[in-house]
């Protein structure tokens, strides 16, 4: 039984997972395909990359960040989700996957644009627009079913990467808030920031001294230099209805 299972390891699911895992929740991401962002040719409106970034590189780095935070990954398409005990949602949820072992989790985040039929047995509430269905949520991504959340485009957020990432983070925080995790802000601050004012370092925060700050900066620069040293070999995925020679 995981604390959190996130269906969909695209932009929103990965962002949510970083926040739940960093708050100490045992987090599994299950993904059955690829992010729609893999179709992009050059990601140029994500803050922090002044001349844009290869979208596949961005996804790769975000997955690495999630792994570093302690997130575990499984490959597989989720086909059905239902409560373990229909009368007691606190018992969690069981997920069936195509050809894989069933999974169990206390909380479930659906970040699986554009699939949500596996949620039908849970009756979370969805809205149909054109050929797409969106999961109805409150401002924290909570659905009508306690313990079930939706994030990113699936929750009818606008269709941009930064928004899907921000929404995923927000939904991750709602999960943390609704769980027993002792959480404050997930901040790393210079030594003395809290203790220098006679305050305890709040849960989920960390004070680091200058040596540690320089060490982390060194590691961060090294990993980014390595990641961007060579262009990626992967091509954008073409729309399935475009004929390819
Ligand atoms: C051609 C194209 C270009 C784009 N260019 C830009 C751009 O330049 N700038 C920008 O800001 N945005 C761009 N976007 C939009 C951006 O890609 C999306 O807004 C963003 O990826 C949405 O994030 P998400 O997490 O909601 O969905 P996704 O990133 O698509 O993640 C959903 C994940 O769920 C998985 N999944 C689905 N169903 C299941 C299931 N049943 N079981 C398990 N896993 C499942 C999928 O495999 C996928 O990995 C572009 C989109 C397209 C199509």
Give the model confidence (pLDDT) of 182-218 as tens digits.
887 899 999 999 999 999 999 989 999 999 999 999 9
Q: How far apart are CA 35 and CA 18, in angstroms?
A: 17
Residue 158 has pLDDT above 90, yes or no: yes
Å from CA of 110 to ligand 1 middle = 13
Asked if the structure places residue 241 within a domain, the reply is no
Q: Are residues 98 and 200 in the same domain?
A: no
Residue 35 has pLDDT above 70, yes or no: yes
Q: Which helix (H) or strand (E) holds 150?
A: strand 148-150
Q: How far apart are CA 121 and CA 152, in angstroms?
A: 21
Q: How far apart are CA 47 and CA 57, in angstroms?
A: 15
Q: Are residues 155 and 82 in the same domain?
A: yes
Q: What is the mean pLDDT of residues 119-145?
A: 96
> How much is the pLDDT for 181?
86
Q: Are residues 23 and 113 in the same domain?
A: yes
Q: Are residues 165 and 86 in the same domain?
A: yes
CATH number, domain at 70? 3.50.50.60
What share of the chain has pLDDT > 90, as a percent? 92
Q: Are residues 126 and 214 in the same domain?
A: no
How far is residue 121 from each of residues 94, 116, 146, measured CA to CA in Å?
Answer: 11, 11, 14
Q: Are residues 164 and 196 in the same domain?
A: no
Indicate whether residue 8 lines ligand 1 (CB < 6 A). yes
Question: Which of residues 141, 158, 178 is at a domain's end?
Answer: 178
What six digits make up the tokens of 136?
Answer: 């109805």
176-88-152 Cα angle (round to 5): 40
Residue nearest to atom 39 of ligand 1 (CA): 112
> How much is the pLDDT for 108?
98
Residue-wise pLDDT tens digits, 70-122: 999 999 999 999 999 988 888 999 999 998 889 999 999 999 999 999 999 99
Q: Are residues 161 and 207 in the same domain?
A: no
Label residue 245 by pLDDT band (50, 70, 90).
Answer: low
Is 19:183 a contact under the CB 8 Å cutoff?
A: no
Dihedral (CA of 173, 80, 75, 28) sign: positive
Indicate whether residue 17 lines ligand 1 (CB < 6 A). no
> How much is the pLDDT for 183?
80
> How much is the pLDDT for 180?
84
Q: What is the mean pLDDT of residues 10-15?
A: 98
Indicate whether residue 30 lines ligand 1 (CB < 6 A). yes
What's the whole-model pTM score?
Answer: 0.97
Q: Which domain holds residue 199?
A: 187-227
| Top mutation candidate among 161, 169, 237, 240 for ligand 1, by most atoms within 8 Å of CB | 161
Label residue 124 by pLDDT band (50, 70, 90).
Answer: very high
35-40-44 Cα angle (round to 5): 115
Å from CA of 11 to ligand 1 middle = 6
Residue 135 has pLDDT above 80, yes or no: yes
Q: Are residues 139 and 41 in the same domain?
A: yes
Indicate whether residue 160 lines ligand 1 (CB < 6 A). yes
Indicate whether residue 12 lines ligand 1 (CB < 6 A). yes
| Structural domain total, the chain | 2
Label residue 236 by pLDDT band (50, 70, 90).
Answer: very high
Dihedral (CA of 87, 90, 96, 100) sign: negative
């Amino acid at each position: 039984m995981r604390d959190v299972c996130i269906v969909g390891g695209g932009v929103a699911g990965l962002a949510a997972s970083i926040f739940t895992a960093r708050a100490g929740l045992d987090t599994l991401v299950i993904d059955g395909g690829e992010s729609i962002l893999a179709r992009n040719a050059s990601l140029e409106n994500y803050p922090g990359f002044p001349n844009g970034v290869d979208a596949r590189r961005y996804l790769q780095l975000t997955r690495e960040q999630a792994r570093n935070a302690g997130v575990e990954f499984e490959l597989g398409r989720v086909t059905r989700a239902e409560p373990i005990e229909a009368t007691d949602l606190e018992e969690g949820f069981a997920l069936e996957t195509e050809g894989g072992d069933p999974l169990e989790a206390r909380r479930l985040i659906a970040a699986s644009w554009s699939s949500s039929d596996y949620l039908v047995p849970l009756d979370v509430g969805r809205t149909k627009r054109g050929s797409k269905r969106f999961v109805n949520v409150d401002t924290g991504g909570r659905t009508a079913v306690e313990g079930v959340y939706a994030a990113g485009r699936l929750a009818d957020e606008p269709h941009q990467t930064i928004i899907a990432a921000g929404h995923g983070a927000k939904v991750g925080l709602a999960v943390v808030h609704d769980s027993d995790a002792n959480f404050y802000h997930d901040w790393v601050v210079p030594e003395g920031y809290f203790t220098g004012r006679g305050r305890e370092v709040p849960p989920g925060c960390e004070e680091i001294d200058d040596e540690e700050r320089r060490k982390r900066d060194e590691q961060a620069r090294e990993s980014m230099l390595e990641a961007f040293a060579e262009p990626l070999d992967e091509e954008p995925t073409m729309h399935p209805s475009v004929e390819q020679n």
